[in-house]
Structure 1
Amino acid sequence: MSNDNFTEVTSESWFSRLGGAIKGILVGIVLIIAALILLFWNEGRSVKEYKTLQEGASSVVSVASDAVDPANAGKLIHTTGKADTKAVLSDPIFGVSANALQLRRVTEMYQWQETSQSETQKKLGGGEETKTTYSYAKTWSASAINSSNFRIPEEHQNPATMPYESNTQVADAVSLGKFSLPSSLVERIDETKPLFIQAADIKNTQLPTGIKLQAGSFYSGADPATPQIGDQRITFEVVNPMEVSVIAKQVRNTLEPYTTSVGGEIELLETGIHSADAIIQHAQDSNVILTWILRLIGFILLVIGINMEFKVLSVIADVLPIAGDIIGAGTGIIAFLLAIIFALVTIATAWIFYRPLLAIILLATVVGVITVIKIKLNKQSKIAA
C-alpha cells in the first residue's frame, strides 16, 4: 500500500458562520421531526415483532422433515434437516461450477482511497480557520470508489466501473427432507467456504482477455505481487449443503412466511439443529438489539438537531472565542438533556398505545429529568446573579 498527503487551509468569516447557523435551524427542525417519527415508529415495530414471535411460540408445531403431513397445511411448523440440492451452479464468465446451495463470485479492485482529517481553530472576531489533511492510499476495495469526488482527482484517478462485479447464484431446487426450501430461505444460509480453483476445473472455459488463474483464484493485471490501479482479483465461495432449522408456514410441500393475528410475519432459519424455542428466543434477542440501535440513532439525531437550533448562540458569542466555547458547552448540555426528554416523551407516548404500564413508569422518569434541569438552571441563575 502506498500513500501521499495534501493539506489545505480554509477560513470562514463570522458573518458566513452566522448565516450557516441560521440555515442550520431549518435542518435541525427536520432532524428533530425525523428523530421523533423514527422513535415512535420503532416502538410500534418492536412491540409488533414481540407479539408476532410470542404468537409464533404458542402456535408452532415441530414436525419431522422426512414426510409432509397434509394436516399441517397452513400451520406454522418447525423442522430440521439437511438443506440439500442436486443443482450445479456455474459462473457464466469464469466457468467455475459447484454443486452448492450458493455460488458467490467475490471481486475486488485495486484503487485509490481518500481519507480526510480536519482541525478547526477559532479566531478572534468570530472567524474560523480549518486545516484539512487529505490522505490518499492504494487499497483493495469490493466496490468502485468514485475518484471524481476527491479533493485532488487528477493524480488519483480510479476506473469508472469495475469490469467484473461480485455475483451470487442461488440454487432454485433445494430440499429439506421432503420439503422444498424457497430461495428466500436459501439466501439466508450464509456459512460460506472458499472455493479453490484449479486449471482442470476450467479446462473447457475460454477466460476473458487479461484474466489469469493465480493461486486458486483469478487475477486481472500484470503481476499480483505489484498490483496497479485497476487490477482485479476474483475469488469464489460456496455455501455447501448443511443442516438447518426452519420455522415457517407449511404450504403443500414448501414453506412460506406465516402471518400472525397482529399482522407480523414469521419466516426464520438458522444453520445447525435448534429447537423452536431457541430459534424464537434468538429472534426476540435480535428484536431487542435492533430496538435499542434505532433508539440510539433517534436520540443522536435529536441531539444533533437540537444543537443546531442553539448553534447560532455560540456563533454570536464566538466574537470572543472563549465566550463561544462556554456557551457552546452549556447549550450542548442543554441539548443533551432536552434530547433525553423528547426521546422519553415520544417513547412513552408510543407506549401509551402499545405498553400502557411501562408508559407510566417512563413518564415518571421524564418528570425526574425535568426536575434536575430546573435545579441546574436555578443554580446557574444564582451564580450569574
Structure 2
Amino acid sequence: MSQDPLVVTTHASWLQRLGGALAGMAVGVILVLGGLTLLFGNEGRAVRAAQTLDEGGRLATSASPDRIDPAQEGRPIHVVGMAQAAGPLSDESTGLRISGLRLVRKVELYQWVETVRTETRTRLGGGEETVATYDYRLEWSSLPVDSDGFKQPQGHVNPEPILKDQDFSTPQIRLGRRRLGPEAAAGLPATETVVLLAGDAQEAERRLGRKVVVSGDALYVGADPALPAVGDARIRYAAAPWGPISVIAGQQGADLVPYATRHGRLYEVRAGRLDAETMLQDAKAANQVLTWLVRLGGAVAIILGLALILNPAKVAADVFPPAGAIVGFGVVALAFIFGAILSALTIATAWLVVRPLLSVVVLTLGALVALGIWRFKAARGTRSEPRVVGTQ
C-alpha cells in the first residue's frame, strides 16, 4: 500500500553551496585521518591474529571431553564432544522454551517506510535546485523505522515495535566433564528453524496482550495475517541445537577458557566434529577476509575524504556548469588515484612496523626488479645502430 508522493523543491545559492563545501572539508579531513588509522591498525591486528593461531597450532594438544588431565592445565587443548546446555533456553517475552545452545529471535514489522528520490540541477551562476520526491509505502521490514524523522509524518505514524531482535545463549555448555561459558554459545550458528505450535501462540498472546496465531514458521502478532495492519509483527526463531562441537581453548580445571598467547587470545568454537588443523585454517581464512574488508573500508573512507576536501574546487567552477562538470570529474579521479596511493603507502608503512623482515625482502626484490628494468632499457637506448656502407 502506498500513497501519493510528496514533492519538495529546494534552492541553494552558489555562496551557500560554497560555504557547505568548505565546511565539508573538515569532515573530509576526519575521514582521511580515520581511514589512515583504520588501515594502519588493521595490519597489526591481522598479524597478531595470525601469530596467535600459529602459536596455538604449535602448542595445542588433543584432550578428552570426559577426562581432565592435570598435565594439560594452563595449556591450549583441542576437544571434540557432544555439547549440552545446563538447562532450557527461553524467551521470557513470548514464553517460548527450547532445548538448545543458542536461540535467536527475528522480528519483522509491518510499518510505513519512506523512500527518497532526488534530482539535482546546477544553474548558471553556480546555484543549485534539488527536487526531492518522498514516497510512503507499507512494508514488512526487519528494522524498526522511526516515523518521527519522516518528511511528512502525518498519516504515516509507526507505533513502538512490540518486540525487537534478540539473541539468547545458554550461560553454560557442558562438554562431557568440561564447561564452556556463554561466549562459546554466542559464536555457534543458529541454523535450525524452530517449529512453532498452537500452544506457543497461546502463551505469547497471554504475555504480549495481543492476538497471536501461528502463520507458517512465524508467530503472527495481529488480528489477521491475510490483512496486516500497521504495528503487526512476525516473530521467527532459529536455534543452535545440542550436538557435536569442536573447541580449541585453554584448560583451567574443568573450564575451557580463552588461552593467552604472546600475541592475543585463542578461543575457537565450531559446530561439528573438526580436527584442530581444519579449525585453525578456517580461522586464518576468516582473518584474511576480515583484513581485506577493513582495507577496503579504510581506502573508501580516504577516497571519500579526499573528494570532500577537493569539492570546493568543483563548486567554485559550477558558476559555469560545463566547467563544473569537468572539474568534478577531475576531483573524483584525483581522489581515487591519491586515495589508492595513500592507502597503499599506509599499508606498506604498517608492514615495516609489524612485518619488518618480510617488508625488507619485498622492498629489496622490488628494487632489484626496478633496477633490472632500468638497466635493460638503458642498454637498449644506448645500443649503436650498425653503419651501412654502400657504393656510390
TM-score interval, normalised by the smaller of the two chains: 0.7 to 0.9
**C-alpha spacing 1:279/1:299, structure 2 compared with 1 (3 Å):** same
User: 2:170 corresponds to which residue?
Assistant: 171
What pairs with 1:80-229 in structure 2 (closer than 5 Å)?
Answer: 80-85=80-85, 87-159=87-159, 161-200=160-199, 206-215=206-215, 217-229=218-230
SS of the equivalent of 1:342 reads helix
Task: State the alpha-carbon separation in 2 of the partners of residues 362 and 4 from structure 1.
Answer: 62
Structure 1 residues 243 and 325, CA, compared in 2 at 3 Å: closer, same or farther? same
Name which of structure 1's ranges 247-256 and 56-65 shifts more when overlaid on structure 2.
56-65
2:71 alignment partner, SS class: helix
> Deviations along 1:31-51, whole A, 9 cap, x unmatched?
111111111111111111111
Does the CA-based 8 Å contact 1:147-1:157 persist in structure 2?
A: yes
* Equivalent position SS for 2:107: strand
Instruction: Tell me if the contact between 1:211 and 1:218 (Cα under 8 Å) persists in the aligned partners.
Output: no
Q: Is the 8 A contact 1:348 1:362 kept in 2?
A: no
Report Cα offsets for 1:46-104 as digits up to 9, x if no partner: 11111111111111112222322121111111111111135223333433222222233
| Residue 233 of structure 1 pairs with residue 234 of structure 2 | yes
**Structural mapping, 1:168-317, within 5 Å:** 168-200=167-199, 206-215=206-215, 217-262=218-263, 264-317=264-317
Structure 2 counterpart SS, 1:278: helix
Q: Once the two structures are aligned, what percentage of the paired residues are identical?
A: 37
Query: Aligned partners of 2:31 and 2:166: how far apart in 1?
Result: 36
Secondary structure of the residue that 1:319 maps to in structure 2?
coil
User: Are the equivalent residues in 2 in contact too, given 1:75–1:249 (CA < 8 A)?
Assistant: yes
Change (3 A) 1:340 1:195: closer
Aligned-residue offset at 1:260: 0.7
Helix, strand or coil at the partner of 1:84? strand
1:231 aligned partner, one-letter code: D
- Offset, 1:2: 4.1
Q: Deviations over 1:280-327 (max 9, x none)?
A: 111111111111111111111111111122111111111111111111
Q: Are residues 1:35 and 2:35 paired?
A: yes
The offset of 1:271, in angstroms, is 1.1
Query: TM-score, with normalisation over the residues of structure 1?
Result: 0.88
Q: Which residue of 2 aligns with 1:44?
A: 44
Query: How many residues are treated as equivalent by the alignment?
Result: 364
Which residue does 1:24 correspond to in 2?
24
CA contact (8 A) 1:121 1:129 kept: yes
**Contact 1:344-1:362 within 8 A present in 2 as well:** no
Structure 1 counterpart of 2:80, one-letter code: T
What secondary structure is seen at the aligned counterpart in 1 of 2:280? helix
Match of 1:66? Answer: 66
Letter in 1 for 2:257: E
Q: 5+ residue gaps in structure 2?
A: 371-392
Give the 3 Å change call, closer, same or farther, for CA 123–231 of structure 1 in structure 2.
same
What is the root-mean-square deviation of aligned Cα atoms in Å? 2.3
User: When the two structures are superposed, what TM-score results if normalisation uses the length of structure 2?
Assistant: 0.86
